[in-house]
Structure 1
Amino acid sequence: MTATEDGALESADRVGSILWGVQEHDPAAAPRDTVFQLLDTILQPECELVILFCSPQFHIEDVANAVAAYGVTARIMGCTTAGELTPLGHRHGTIVGLSFAAKHFVASIKVIEQLAGFEIAEGLAVARGLLAEHEIAEQRLSMPRSFSILINDGLSMREEAIASAFGNALGHVPLVGGSVGSRPSMNEPNMFLDGRVLNNAALLSLIATDLDFRVFHTQHFEPRDQKLVITKADAARRMVMEINAEPAGQEYARLLGLKRSELTPAIFASHPLVLRAGGRYYARAIQQVNDDDSLHFFCAIDEGIVLSIAESGDLVDDLESLFERIRRDLGPVQAVLGFDCILRYIEMEQGQMLPSVSRLLAENNVVGFNTYGEQFGTMHMSQTFTGIAFGRGRADG
């Protein structure tokens, strides 16, 4: 890793097929110059795809305009973040990007717009059409395997339907991804593709590679024995008004042995509600408690659901174990594309774990962003770390 004169941080692996870079936000610099400097760092002579994760300190319109002005044939997609994951550790106020060499990767991308009216049948058709297109494109690689990346506009609150439709349509192709928001208190776009700004949209990418890779997701919670029931909810708005027939905020606090006034984002981060499905537990994370004692969730929630309150385990130990398993399976890791829930970051910050986690990000070349929810297979969830780890060798088919 080296720092250039213009401040860009160059990739630690200039000979690999995945290159990364980080560019700090500079209020005195034109956004165009910042984006150009980053692309100068990470673009490869024959580049298939570039992904940029942008702090909300950058306006997506400015980034997209700069990408269009730069003028390359590679596809370039990007989104806003709630924090950036980089091989330098956790960052805020940066653009982090990575590029994939055409020698080892083939990408097919579909934009899905007007998510408010998204229908599962439509999603199935879109994904199957993209899969057919991709199967032709990937033939230029020898013995490729494919994965999919789904970036959702989290403000649409349609992630469950989208992940379910695409995950089922893609079948054996593993799907991972994350939900993005917009600048605080502002209704700004949060995604772009090839210089085009996207509103109320999702980006579905199918990527084939002849490199070995592993998809993963992990969480560090254990459910308590006590159960609770959602007795009044507004599923469309992900709002819960009553738990166990009591005001939701008050009952959640009581079950934790707390006062209603003691509920904070740190409490939500360390004590999510979890749903058991298919023999596994999935977090239904709380976003905030409202003045009327209702709870606003990051994921789908509905009346009649039985949940458990979970206890936080050792987040750092869980991550160390994850990366050990990945290295055992893949050997040396070239890069990891990661999607990590913002509530996990809050827990890391509150528990003074950021130095340890940043060390693990650096050791494993993790590039990605803090999300408002994660996609894995057919599921949309929260308070997980999901992603794809890439080895340095070819897949064995």
Structure 2
Amino acid sequence: MNSAEYGVKRGFSQAADAHQAVTELRAQIDQPDTALVLLFCSPAYDLEQLGPAIAEAFGDTLTLGCTTAGEITPQGYCTGSLTGLSLNRDACHADAVHIDRLSEFAFSHGLDSVREVLARMAQTEGPDFASGTFAMLMIDGMSSAEDSVLSALHAGLGEIPLFGGSAGDDLEFRRTWVYKDGCFHSDMAALVLVHTPYPFRVFKTQHFVGSDTKMVITGADPLHRIVTEINAEPAGREFARMLGMEVEELTPMIFATHPVVVRVGGADYVRSIQKVNPDGSLSFFCAIDEGLVLSVAQTVEPYDNLAQVFDDLQAEIGPPQLIIGCECVLRSLEMERTQMKKRMGELLIANNVVGFNTYGEQFNAMHVNQTFTGVALGRTRR
């Protein structure tokens, strides 16, 4: 389960009691000179108990985490669990910054936060630390602030690659949380920078590509990610028509299997629909605006797609000792529908993946959906 000789440990607990879950996880990932702990927890836990239990268990160690829409554990997909990992000081130097009040977020605030953590990292690792550093973002998945935050972070990070995920709440879509200093907070993001002597690759993949079936957003509320009109018709009804359905048939499972794609810089990025609103409009998981041209996505085989990504990563950096993964919850729903989840979980186990199902994924400057993004850490030091 662990790569202790490399300074990496992974673990999880399915205990329902918050204190017991933390105790069991700590027993698996505790190691000398721990530099960083990352935790992904089911929102089914009593967070008022879980937060202090985490703080007591890991003390002064830099510890970050968030709630999920499902967990990716050393034993595959789980729900209702607590999973995580630790890296020791031989494996990395880590530093983090929390960005609160996302509802009042300003570009300058985000840029200042990045510069603050970059300055501390440069003092510790020297001015050329960027080439051996990656960044991970965990952010309130109900904040609708991901696009604005990413814009500022990407501007500040420069060549440092970033990945991340939006926190979830098991498809309740009410409130999501990010952990800080013994408490769980909404309206917050956590950015961690990890400098490591091991080779790594930040990556993304999705099993959807664009098609010739196009649509134009002709009415939208960008602030709230709501589309009111598609092709000058009521959004829900027109999208259902394009799928050969009635609007009443549009369910989360339909949205999971029929996302839309926007093409940016020659690459496809998935935009997913969250729900149909009572007025017939559509709420999206990502930024949306009038005039945007989208296409109904076409599917490629998801297992083969992810297996090829892992093969490519192994060819680049060798067998991964750890992959931290952020996978859209809509992918998980699709795996359940197609009865592929067990097989996909075995693929994740074989590649040492730990992470969570998200309400959106981050890759450098892009906030996307129905995507698997993460970082793979090799075994041979540079």
- Indicate the TM-score class for this superposition, using the shorter chain for normalisation: over 0.9
Q: How far off its partner does 1:70 sit? A: 2.5
Per-residue Cα deviation, 1:47-71 (whole angstroms, up to 9, x for no partner): 0010110011113332211022225
Aligned pairs for 1:45-84 within 5 A: 45-70=32-57, 72-84=59-71
Partner of 2:152: 165
Counterpart Cα distance in 1 of 2:75 and 2:333: 19
Alignment partner of 1:107 out of 68, 87, 94: 94
Contact 1:60 1:189 (C-alpha < 8 Å) held by counterparts: no
Superposition deviation, residue 187 in structure 1? 5.7
* Distance in 2 separating the partners of 1:378 and 1:150: 12
8 A contact 2:12–2:24 mirrored in 1: no
Instruction: Provide the residue aligned with 2:298 in structure 1.
Output: 311
2:235 is aligned to: 248
Superposition map of 1:256-335 within 5 A? 256-335=243-322
Question: Partner letter of residue 141 of structure 2?
Answer: G
Q: Which whole-Å deviations, capped at 9, do the CAs of 1:149-196 have from their partners, x for residues lacking one? A: 111112111100101110121001000000013466586561112314
Deviations along 1:298-354, one digit per CA (max 9) or x if unpaired, are 001111111111122110010110000011111121010000001111111111111
User: 1:289: Cα distance to partner?
Assistant: 1.1
Shift of 1:221: 0.9
Give the whole-Å Cα distance in 2 for the aligned partners of 1:175 and 1:372.
17
Asked if the contact 1:80/1:182 (under 8 Å) is kept, the reply is yes
Cα shift at 1:140: 12
2:17 counterpart of 1:24? no
Structure 2 Cα separation of the partners of residues 187 and 350 of structure 1: 24
Q: Is the 8 A contact 1:337 1:387 kept in 2?
A: yes
Closer, same or farther in 2 for the Cα pair 1:132/1:380, shift >3 Å?
same
Q: Which amino acid aligns with 2:51?
A: A
Q: Aligned pair in 2 of structure 1 residues 259, 185: CA closer, same or farther (>3 Å)?
A: closer
TM-score (structure 2 length as normaliser): 0.96
Question: Do the aligned residues in 2 keep the contact of 1:53 with 1:80 (CA within 8 Å)?
Answer: yes
The aligned runs of 1:184-195 (5 Å cut-off) are: 190-195=177-182
Shift of 1:143: 10
Shift of 1:220: 1.0
Question: Could you tell me how far apart the structure 2 residues matched to 1:34 and 1:267 are?
Answer: 35
Question: In structure 2, do the counterparts of structure 1 residues 138 and 195 end up closer, same or farther at CA, with 3 Å as the change threshold?
Answer: farther
**1:32 shift after superposition:** 1.6
1:132 and 1:15 map into 2 onto residues whose CA distance is 30
Deviation at 1:139, TM superposition (A): 4.6
1:89 pairs, out of 55, 76, 79, with 76
Partner SS, residue 291 of structure 2: coil
Aligned counterpart for 1:126 among listed residues 83, 100, 113: 113
> How many Å separate the matches in 2 of 1:19 and 1:127?
28
Looking at structure 1, the residues matched to 177 and 305 of structure 2 have their Cα atoms a distance apart, in angstroms, of: 31
Alignment partners' CA distance in 2, 1:347 and 1:240 = 24
**Alignment partners' CA distance in 2, 1:286 and 1:188:** 18
- Give secondary structure in 1 for the equivalent of 2:289: coil
Cα deviation digits, residues 1-23 of structure 1 (max 9, x gap): xxxxxxxxxx3433331100010
Q: Which residue of 1 aligns with 2:363?
A: 376
Residue range with higher mean Cα deviation, 256-265 or 305-314: 256-265
Q: Within 2, Cα distance between the matches of 1:59 and 1:91?
A: 18
The AA in structure 2 aligned to 1:24 is: Q
Q: Number of residues paired by the alignment?
A: 382
Secondary structure at the residue paired with 1:320? helix
Match of 2:25 among 38, 44, 56: 38
* Residues 60, 80 of structure 1: 8 Å contact kept: no
Amino acid of the structure 1 residue aligned with 2:30: L
Q: Give the letter aligned to residue 339 of structure 1.
A: C
Structure 1 residues 142 and 223, CA gap change in structure 2 (3 angstroms): closer
Aligned partners of 2:216 and 2:129: how far apart in 1? 52
**In 2 relative to 1, CA 83–219 (structure 1 residues): closer, same or farther, beyond 3 Å?**
same
Query: Partner amino acid for 1:90?
Result: Y
Tell me, in whole angstroms, the C-alpha distance in 2 between the residues paired with 1:305 and 1:286.
Answer: 15
Contact between 1:25 and 1:58, CA under 8 Å: does it hold in 2? Answer: no
Query: SS at the partner of 1:100?
Result: strand
Structure 2 SS opposite 1:224: coil
Residue identity opposite 1:57 in structure 2: A
- Alpha carbons 1:143, 1:210 under 8 Å: kept: no
Aligned partner of residue 233 in structure 1, secondary structure:
strand
| Structure 1 range deviating more: 243-252 or 55-64 | 55-64
Determine what percentage of the aligned residue pairs are the same residue: 44
For residue 381 of structure 2, what is the aligned residue in structure 1? 394
Output the CA distance in 2 between the equivalents of 1:319 and 1:20. 21
CA offsets 1:102-152 (integer angstroms, 9 cap, x no match): 112111110111001111122112212211111112359999710001111
Partners of 2:129 and 2:230 in 1: how far apart?
54
CA–CA separation in structure 1 for the residues paired with 2:202 and 2:182: 29
Q: Which runs of 5+ in 2 are unaligned?
A: none
Residues 303 and 365 of structure 1: CA distance in aligned 2, closer, same or farther (over 3 Å):
same
Q: Residue 13 of structure 1: which of 3, 19, 26 is its match?
A: 3
Q: Distance in 2 between matches of 1:379 and 1:144?
A: 21
Work out whether residues 47 and 100 of structure 1, in 8 Å CA contact, stay in contact via their aligned partners in 2.
yes
Deviations 1:26-56 (A, max 9, x none): 3xx4x22321221122011110010110011
Identify the range of structure 1 (336-345 vs 118-127) with the bigger mean alpha-carbon deviation: 118-127
RMSD over aligned CA atoms reads 1.9
Distance, in Å, in 2 between the alignment partners of 1:331 and 1:186 is: 39
Kindly indicate whether the alpha-carbon contact (under 8 Å) linking 1:61 and 1:189 is maintained by their aligned counterparts in 2.
Answer: no
Change (3 A) 1:60 1:189: farther
